[in-house]
Amino acid sequence: MKLGWVTATGVQGYDVDEPFALPALRDAGVDVDVVIWDDPDVRWESYDRVVLRSAWDYPEHLDRFVPWLDRVAAVTDLCNPAPMVRWNLDKHYLAELDEAGIPIPPTTFLEPGDIPVFPDGEFVVKPAVGAGSRNASSYGPEDRESAREHVTRLHGAGASVLVQPLLKSVVADGEWPLLFFGGVYSHAASKRVALPRAGTVEYLFAEETNVAYTADPEQIAVARQVVDLVTERFGTPVYARVDLVRDDDGKPCVLEVELIEPSLFLPEGPPESVGKLVKALRN
């Protein structure tokens, strides 16, 4: 099997899953090339499968990335599949989870042209299409004016915006990514992100602290609902990450679903998680 492992310019060495996944794939007899998604010299048709990994700069290049998905999917097996990736690009999918009865944080979508409205107390402003906390920020009641400017700036760039109350548990305990390979639950981790206050991340991603974590059955059940919904709509994801937080009543809810280029927390997962990923990628 020949596999294209997709990264982006300038991120080589930052993907901490690579030192686990690449040797394991090669040991399993998979011929892996690390390729840059917008390198014009890559022959995508020469791969049996192309797997989106550290293609972390796509939110800044959506106009090229979306057509690229279809071009690659036309000549090889892109994973995750293009329709699933397109659905996952935009956090409006949270409204669909909500409609399906899956818990999400209280969320207001502000479309370009909408007048910004903010909840009482502290809140978060983030773009509907985004990754790595870029262009996301928290605000207090005293910085509503800068929050309004933030929304105006995102709207000016044509972006839809999400506003959510700042969940206290995220500040205190962080979030919990749950990983599924081939639709089967693999492992979880605990992740803390240093989200800027009234300012935004200018680099590739906000600083993160990650450690191993054992998810409880209630968390696994919520994450599984998400993977089941995705599977029903688009087929089984080869890899899926569901980032859970706790709402102000302590109940798990879905902060985001990552089906495009999530870090897979292989350094924090049990050793067998690498084998589960390899199996899903070879399937």
Ligand X SMILES: Nc1ncnc2c1ncn2[C@@H]1O[C@H](COP(=O)(O)OP(=O)(O)O)[C@@H](O)[C@H]1O
Nearer to ligand X, 34 or 109 (CB): 109
The DSSP letter of residue 250 is: S
| Diameter over CA atoms, the chain | 58
CB of 147 or CB of 193, closer to ligand X = 193
CB of 50 to ligand X, least distance (A): 22
Tell me whether residue 4 or residue 132 sits nearer to ligand X (CB atom): 132
Report in angstroms how near the CB of residue 276 gets to ligand X at its nearest: 24
Determine if residue 264 is left, alpha or beta; phi over 0 gives left, psi from -120 to 50 gives alpha, anything else beta: alpha
Closest approach, Cβ 243 to ligand X, in A, equals 6
Is residue 253 a contact partner of residue 221, using CB atoms and an 8 Å limit? no
- The residues binding ligand X (CB under 6 A) are 105, 124, 126, 130-133, 136, 164, 166-167, 170, 175, 193, 195, 243, 255-256
Minimum CB separation of residue 1 from ligand X in Å reads 31
Rounded to whole angstroms, the Cα distance separating 27 from 47 reads: 18
Structure tokens at 273: 């998680």
Q: How far is the CB of 275 from ligand X (least distance, A)?
A: 27
Name the residue nearer to ligand X (CB basis): 74 or 171.
171
Nearest-Å Rg of the Cα atoms of the chain is 19
Tokens linked to 67? 């057509």
**What are the two backbone dihedrals, phi and then psi, of residue 205, each rounded to the nearest 5 degrees?**
-155, 155
- Kindly tell me which of 182 and 196 has the beta carbon lying closer to ligand X: 196
